[in-house]
Chains A and B, each alone.
Chain A
Amino acid sequence: MNEDGTLIRLDGIHKWFGDLHVLRGIDLAIVPQEVVVLIGPSGSGKSTLLRTINMLEEPTEGGVWFDGIELTHIRTDLNKARARMGMVFQSFNLFPHLKAIENLTLALIKVLGLSREEAIGLAREQLAHVGLSDKADSYPSQLSGGQQQRVAIARALAMQPTLMLFDEATSALDPELVGEVLRVMQELAEEGMTMVVVTHEMGFAREVGNRLLFMDQGVIMEEGLPADVFANPQHERTKEFLSQVL
């Protein structure tokens, strides 16, 4: 935890891709066990914002604090910090040359330094958690999209992270497979995991989120309780966006 009781703190984040100003001064604080949902039109910078939290994108300006560590400091060991932040991608990004269980054990052995037996035990536990005990020895190409994404979630959870980041985790899935992944995410939230979720699933945002952020053109336009924002959007852009997606 940071000194002010937050788990994540972003201070004045700016990000340029060349001449493109993608994030224009973002301040954000997230406390433990909070589920923050990021919505907004494509190109609004929500994925980039998520990726600055674990420094996959280095902010051009501004500071990122995670659990008392300043990630933007040049001497910070990012690998160590990232080991405690799980991330789930839109395109799953499972390692295709490794079996499902090996996808989980790789980082447990190489990063956390567990023995093979310990790692396998932990990995089996996590696969059971997402309901895929019987798929441990399957290769990713033998799994459905929903199963792959659940393995990816299990892979992140196996590292016992204090924070989970979801980058449009259901956008690449067939409609009938979205449910199984959302269910896992919802269970995770109920267990008290701190989560930052970029999503287009408005139902999930309303049901599971503690706080909703609406982003547009690189700034946070509006934030509040999901129910409030959905029912009574303050900003003109928010109204427009919600009228299109709801």
Chain B
Amino acid sequence: MSLGVERLTPPDRGIRYFMAQQNGWSWASFWMGIGTLVMVMLGTLVVLTAHGWTQFCPEGAKATECSPTDPLAEGLMSRGLGLVIIATVILGVATWVISVISMRVYQTKPAKEATLVGIVLAAQGVGFAGFLMWFRGSDVDRFARNFLDVRLIGDHIGLVWSKITAQFGAIAEAAVPWAINMAIAGLLVWIVWRMVVSDNPVAEPIRTVLLAGTAAIVLGLLLDVTGLLTGNLAWLRITERIGEVNWGTLLGTGSRADHVDGLAQGIGSLLRFAALWLGYGAFAGICYRILRGDWRSDEHIRGAVRAMLILAGSGYVIGIVKGMVVTATLPSFAAGAWNTLILSVAGAAIGFGGGLVLSLFAMSSRAVVRAPARIYINFFRGTPLIWQISFAGMGIVPALHLNISPYWVAIMVLGLNLAAYSAEVYRAGIQSIERGQMEASRTLGLSYMQSLQYVVVPQAIRRVIPPLLNEFVILIKDTSLVSILGLTLSQKELLGVGRTIYSSTFDATAWLGAAAGFLIITLPMIRIVTIVERRMRSGLTSVI
């Protein structure tokens, strides 16, 4: 007697099985449904293309006589499109009739599914045809003029593009430092990442590396100072930096605002200087350690090299894109998208970093530590972002005579705001880690901070990545609020660019262009959220 356990492979339920289970009626319903939708979509495209989408109007032609969108309006009103609509409706109704018959005769589940697919697709096709029919009854000409001048986006991009291609050599050259600096930054980020998120021996060499970095700074300063005597290049460099500092105001002359400016500039240039040398020093230190053989483990070197290559490559791309944007002075959508990206990425860097620290404060068992964090979080979550941007840009900055561009104000406020929201996400993530994890870690002798660092936070971060990415998508869209700060043309983000173009052309196509720009940035992010979520549900807990 067969017990049914002998069969080792699951039954075939693939596409071939699906096809084999159809009968004539269900098959007809399936394909006719597909045909209905394809007919209305493809038919419309063919008819509109046959009429031509846009046209050139002679100089000085009246808008009533010649509009760039006239062919489009003609196409929409043409008999050809009318025929497409009628044919679609007929095919759709025929599909339904066939489907009704199919519903009475089908015997298998795939046949039922195919029939249902036919019905639904036919409904979608007929629905779209109905929409076109309704649209033809409205003021098509006016709508086309206002919303469908697709040339507008194309023209701007075309102009910008010709400028960029003319100067591409210079742009490519200027991008090289970006690649180098990003590679060094990548190495540092990689080390910090390994230190924070995983238990890795790199934590020990990092001390040497930082030491080497500090030594390199001192060395760099010394070089510059001795350069005073020898007059070499290094000397030129430090005089450049000294030149950036407004020494007069530093010494107390000048107004208070000047004083603050001078101090900020001086500190800023010194910090830049120090950071640069720290980066080079760390790089030298790591090279030294690799040569000396402390980092024998291939895994570390591979990781470091990979991080450097990836960031050098992306640094080069960023440098080129940046060069293109600088070249493109028109309020083009490319420049707008770049600014949207800068605002959101810089805001996210501040927000995600600050949020983690804030969440640790907010979870403290001591009320005196918890209270300020809660006040901060509740304040930023409780007031509108547009108020925060306005108050910072139009209240705090002028009142304190701060010499900060609205662009940086916007980045700061977006970051501070995101910190409040992401702190709550982190808190939920950390608190979702079972108490036993902390207890087990503490019983091994790890301190509270070590337990957070090596046991709780690495697990929590994996759990909070999807909600944090969601916050990031929200942030990308919120960058549009920056436009209230009155940015200059080159600083405008997507919505600002769209508005600028609209106000100079009174053509609403600009709004569609802005929407397309946002979607190009946000859709891949949303996709990434989905992928990460799926990876976290399946397989091991390890995502990173």
Give A contacts to B, CB under 8 Å: 54, 56, 79-80, 82-87, 89, 91, 93-98, 102, 105-107, 109-112, 115-116, 139, 141-142, 152, 155-156, 159
Contacts and interface: CB of A to CB of B under 8 A. Distances in A.
B542 A82 contact: no
B442 interface: yes
B59 to A, nearest CB: 68
B278 interface: no
Contacts of B440: 87, 89, 93-95, 152
Nearest to B197: A97
A107 B436 contact: no
A86 B440 CA distance: 10
B155 interface: no
A214 B455 CA distance: 36
B542 A139 contact: yes
Contact of B445 (A89, A105, A107, A115): A107
Given A95-B455, A97-B462, A107-B446, A141 B540 contact: yes
Contacts of A93: 434, 436-437, 439-440
A141 B541 contact: yes
Contacts of A112: 445
B444 A97 contact: no
30 contacts: A54-B443, A56-B439, A56-B442, A56-B443, A79-B442, A79-B445, A79-B446, A80-B445, A82-B442, A82-B443, A83-B445, A84-B445, A86-B443, A94-B440, A95-B455, A97-B459, A97-B462, A98-B199, A106-B199, A106-B444, A106-B446, A110-B199, A110-B446, A110-B454, A111-B445, A111-B446, A111-B450, A116-B201, A156-B444, A159-B444
A155 B441 CA distance: 11
A159 to B, nearest CB: 6
A85 B459 CA distance: 25
A112 to B, nearest CB: 8
Given A93-B439, A95-B437, A111 B541 contact: no
Contact of B444 (A91, A107, A115, A141): A107
Interface in B425-447: 434, 436-437, 439-447
B458 interface: yes
A91 B436 contact: yes
Given A89-B439, A91-B436, A96 B541 contact: yes
Given A110-B446, A141-B540, 9 more contacts: A54-B443, A79-B442, A95-B455, A96-B541, A105-B199, A106-B444, A111-B444, A141-B541, A159-B445
Contacts of A87: 440, 443
Contact of B458 (A56, A79, A97, A110): A97
Contact of B459 (A96, A139, A141): A96
Most chain B beta carbons < 10 A, residue from A80, A91, A95: A95
Interface string B526-544: 0000000000000011100
A111 B449 CA distance: 12
Sort A-B residue pairs by CB-CB distance and give the 3 closest, nearest first: A83-B445, A93-B440, A107-B444
Nearest to A104: B444
Contacts of A97: 458-459, 462, 541-542
B450 A110 contact: yes
B227 to A, nearest CB: 42
Contacts of A89: 436, 439-440
Contacts of A54: 443
Contacts of B443: 54, 56, 82, 85-87, 156
A139 B543 CA distance: 13
A105 B462 CA distance: 22
A102 B455 CA distance: 11
A82 B444 contact: yes
A80 B454 CA distance: 18
A106 B451 CA distance: 10
Contacts of A102: 199
Nearest to A94: B440
A94 B455 CA distance: 10
A80 B446 CA distance: 9
Most B Cβ at <10 Å: residue of A89, A105, A110, A111: A110
Contacts of B444: 82-83, 106-107, 111, 155-156, 159
Nearest to B201: A116
Contacts of B542: 97, 139
Contacts of B541: 96-97, 139, 141
Nearest to A113: B204
Contacts of A83: 444-445
Interface in B459-486: 459, 462
Nearest to A152: B440
